[in-house]
Amino acid sequence: MKNYWELTKDLPNEINQEIIGEFLLSLKVSNRSKGTIIVYRRFLEQFFVEMKEPYTSLTSNTILEWFKKNEDHLSEAYLRLRLSIISSFYKFCLQEEYVDSSPIKSRWFPRLPQSLPKYLEKEDIAKIRNQSELTSLRNQVLVEFMLTTGCRVREVSELNREEVDFENRTARVVGKGKKIRYVHFTEKCAFLLERYIIARNRYHKAQKALFLTSSGRRLSVRTIQYVIKKIGEGAKLSTNLHPHRFRHTFATELLAKGADLSFIGDELGHSDVGTTQIYARLPKREVISLYRKYMG
């Protein structure tokens, strides 16, 4: 079986085959996620399998006509993703000086409405906490840890026991691009974590992973997502509950309590403060309302 960053199809043009292979390898070297690389690979295979010309000869009109023919039925968000992939490929070619200019035009990209982050109301948080207490200590810790650290679900899945520091109430997590940061958790979370670790060590002391299944295996991202979804259903929330809602809630609560965006960005592990700007778009009256909900 080939590596996930290697092309799985033979393209009609050998030059395209070679350079796309280089591009995908560069994504792997840059620590882009496996899922992202697979999405890129699949679309580039789909696009270039129909192109007999080398990528250097493809005109803007040729590319645009292909998109009109093949992608016209897609949603604007999905179309934008496909355009971003082909644009990234040509940006790579520009950086490597394989081409003098990119045939991709910025005007092709649909402008998507920027949605506000979906956070949890105080009442819903109480329902989720109560429901987690009815399931298991591990699930209660999962909910509390994600609510008070703002961690991504993959960061939680990959967290090891030895990376938790109870004295300073911090945990060492590996974020996107293998970037290491230290997240903080509350006194309540620390208390629950200590109880959970004592319980798990009775049966699985040798296991490195912090969060385990009942059989002692590391909790996968998919399993965490399923656990959180079931807790949301048990709490009778009006919408499905996803782990990322905890991350948005964590950031929104910090904002409501007066934290500045640079601090919030550091806690979330954003490499660019521009990514954190989405929280600044919460209406001022909404922030005031949130502050009163959380602080009284």
- The residues that are catalytic are 152, 176, 244, 247, 270, 279
d(CA 245, CA 147): 9
Instruction: Report the DSSP pairing between strands 180-184 and 164-165.
Output: unpaired
**C-alpha dist (Å) from residue 262 to 175, 184, 290:** 17, 16, 20
Q: Which long-range contacts (CB under 8 A, 24 or more apart) does 3-10 make?
A: 3/28, 4/34, 4/37, 4/38, 4/41, 5/37, 5/41, 6/41, 7/41, 7/44, 7/45, 8/41, 8/45, 9/45, 9/49
**Which residue do the tokens 């039925």 mark?**
73
CA dist list (Å): 6 to 33, 55, 56, 244, 284 = 14, 18, 21, 30, 48
Q: How far apart are CA 129 and CA 31, in angstroms?
A: 35
**Are 256 and 290 within 8 A, CB to CB?**
yes
Bridge-based pairing of strands 180-184 and 170-174 is antiparallel
Q: For the sheet containing 164-165, what is the strand order?
A: 164-165, 170-174, 180-184
**CA 201, CA 203: separation in Å to the nearest integer?**
5
